[in-house]
Amino acid sequence: MTEIDTGRTTEAMSPDARKAVFGAWFGFVVDMFDVYLPIVALAPAMAYFEPKGLSPGAAAVIAAAIFTATLIGRPVGAIVFGHFADRIGRRRTAIVSVLGFGVTTLVIACLPGHQAWGVWAIVALIALRFVDGVFLGGEYTSATPLALEYSPRRRRGIVGGFIVSGYPLAYCLVAIITYLLLRVLPANGPDSPYVQWGWRIPFVIGALLAFVFVAWFVRSVRESESWAGSEKARRPLVDLFTGSNLRGLAQVFVLMTGVWLTLNMMSAVLPGLLTSALGLTSSTTTGLLIIVYAVLVGAYAGGGALSQHTGRRRYLMGSGVLIATLVPVGYGVIVSGSVGSLVGLAVLLIVVNILALSMWGAVTPYINERFATSVRASGFGVGYSLAVIVPSFYAFYQNGLAAFVPPRYTALVLLVLAGLLVFTGAAIGPETRDVRMGASGHAGPNA
């Protein structure tokens, strides 16, 4: 039975709520900082781990393996830590998961390179990134439900948007740190300072941020009162994959498949096209992306706040329409090279990214509102993470489409598909804005 909160609840955030929300945001910043480390900070120093004379194709396979290892680890972590967050509590699970990836990141910073360990250096790096991914999957699975369970109903939209704004902020931080290091530590060969030891600095910073988070979280954040006062599921994952919970999970899977496919087109494919198709230098591309992601910090929070007024379902359906129509048009103009000035390109990049990605601010509260307290962490973690798998093979889909569409425009086809998935996933689900996330455990249409 659905429980809708129609009474006027207090708008004030309690001190415990503010600390829980800040903790979830801080945890997400640290989480995404760690995610971007191999993509941004380690990329200029991969010669440290690779044998000399490695072909570009083999180097691409290694880079993909590092990324995929983390990718596979996150759904595994969401399943494992989601279970514990529902069984033993959100707070303890968040502490263990962040401490885990902090230690793992510090170990990566100490790894010897190919000269010392040969092929085992890259094997160790890939294995550690998988372990890192498992712990990373536990952070948002536990800390985010805790924060939203503390939040007043009428603030859950802005809270969810605020938490997920840590994603673009983390990219900006890693990119700026790496850019500054490369200005003083050259990366022009296997024996250059950045390749030998400079890349370790961002990893050490990431580990220290994780340890700071754990120390603060232990002292400042209390366990979710909603979880503490609810009836605990003996087997949260079993409950999640049965009955109405399974139907809700399937609906979220459709929605999130479209959301992740959109993100891949914007954050993985488009930056590469800026250099390969438009001929921009890597430093110019990085500078443009820092500006775009800085704007997205506010756009994510704004998306969550707007969904509080329109309703999550209507907002996400509207986002799906925009992704399937206007976003491909703007994307096509960008990669066509027809924008004459760098300023014009920056403005168009900002607009297209806002239209495509602001929905993340609504996705976070929506999925948490979708599941009952007893399975909320499992539902959020699995629903959020499992859908990343199908979109992660976007390169194969693009290769197939390249037989019919010029390669630089294959992303437009996938964006249309992504928009349709987002629209359909939202349309077949209920509105969740007014559901109760209280200690009774009834929180959403599936409860």
pLDDT, position 188: 85
Whether pLDDT at 1 is above 70 = no
Exposure class string for 226-249: b at 16+ Cβ within 10 A, else e: bbeebeebeebbebbeeeebeebb
List pLDDT tens digits, range 358-372: 999 999 999 999 999
- The distance from CA 181 to its chain's CA centroid, rounded to whole angstroms, is 25
CA distances in angstroms from 298 to 162, 234, 388, 446, listed in the order given: 8, 40, 24, 32
Provide mean pLDDT across the span 323-344. Answer: 96
pLDDT, position 438: 60
Whether pLDDT at 290 is above 90 = yes
CB neighbours of 231 closer than 8 A, spacing ≥ 6? 374, 441
Question: Quick one: which of 258, 250, 254 has its CA closest to 391?
Answer: 258
Whether pLDDT at 164 is above 90 = yes
Provide mean pLDDT across the span 136-162. Answer: 94
Residue 186 corresponds to which tokens in the numbers above? 């050259």
Among 276-285, 334-343, 346-355, the minimum mean pLDDT is found in 276-285
When pLDDT is cut at 50, 70 and 90, the band that residue 10 belongs to is: very low
For tokens 């945890």, the residue is: 27
Whether pLDDT at 384 is above 60 = yes
State percent of the chain over pLDDT 70: 95
Whether pLDDT at 439 is above 70 = no
List pLDDT tens digits, range 206-221: 999 999 999 999 999 9
- List, in order of start, the domains of the chain with CATH numbers: 15-223 (1.20.1250.20), 233-447 (1.20.1250.20)
Provide mean pLDDT across the span 420-439. Answer: 91
Q: Are 76 and 137 in contact (CB under 8 A)?
A: yes
Whether pLDDT at 326 is above 70 = yes
pLDDT, position 103: 97
Whether pLDDT at 122 is above 80 = yes
Q: Average pLDDT over the chain, rounded to whole?
A: 91
Whether pLDDT at 11 is above 90 = no
Question: Quick one: which of 246, 195, 204 has its CA closest to 372?
Answer: 246
Whether pLDDT at 59 is above 70 = yes
pLDDT, position 248: 95
pLDDT, position 186: 86
Exposure class string for 88-126: b at 16+ Cβ within 10 A, else e: ebbbebbbbbbbbbbbbbbebbebebbeeeeeebbebbb
pLDDT, position 63: 82
Whether pLDDT at 434 is above 60 = yes
pLDDT, position 338: 93
pLDDT, position 54: 83
CB neighbours of 190 closer than 8 A, spacing ≥ 6? 47, 48, 52, 196
Query: Under DSSP, is residue 195 helix (H, G, I), strand (E, B) or coil?
Result: helix
Rounded Cα gap, residues 222 and 176, in angstroms: 34
DSSP string over 216-267: HHHHH-PPPHHHHTSPPPSSHHHHHTSHHHHHHHHHHHHHHHHHHHHHIIII
Burial class of residue 255 (count of CB atoms within 10 Å of its CB; 0-12, 13-18, 19+): buried
Whether pLDDT at 12 is above 90 = no
pLDDT, position 446: 38
When pLDDT is cut at 50, 70 and 90, the band that residue 307 belongs to is: very high
Residue 359 corresponds to which tokens in the numbers above? 């929905």
Provide mean pLDDT across the span 91-99. Answer: 96
Provide mean pLDDT across the span 245-274. Answer: 94
DSSP string over 67-131: HHHHHHHHHHHHHHHHHHHHHT-HHHHHHHHHHHHHHHHHHHHT---HHHHTHHHHHHHHHHHHH
Q: Are 194 and 186 in contact (CB under 8 A)?
A: yes
Whether pLDDT at 70 is above 80 = yes
In what helix (H) or strand (E) does residue 64 lie, and over which residues does it extend? helix 56-87
Provide mean pLDDT across the span 300-313. Answer: 96
Provide mean pLDDT across the span 34-42. Answer: 90
Rounded Cα gap, residues 434 and 446, in angstroms: 14
Indicate the pTM of the whole model.
Answer: 0.89
For tokens 């230098």, the residue is: 281
When pLDDT is cut at 50, 70 and 90, the band that residue 123 belongs to is: very high
pLDDT, position 231: 85
Of the segments 67-76, 396-405, 434-443, which one has the largest average pLDDT value? Answer: 396-405
Query: Under DSSP, is residue 274 helix (H, G, I), strand (E, B) or coil?
Result: helix
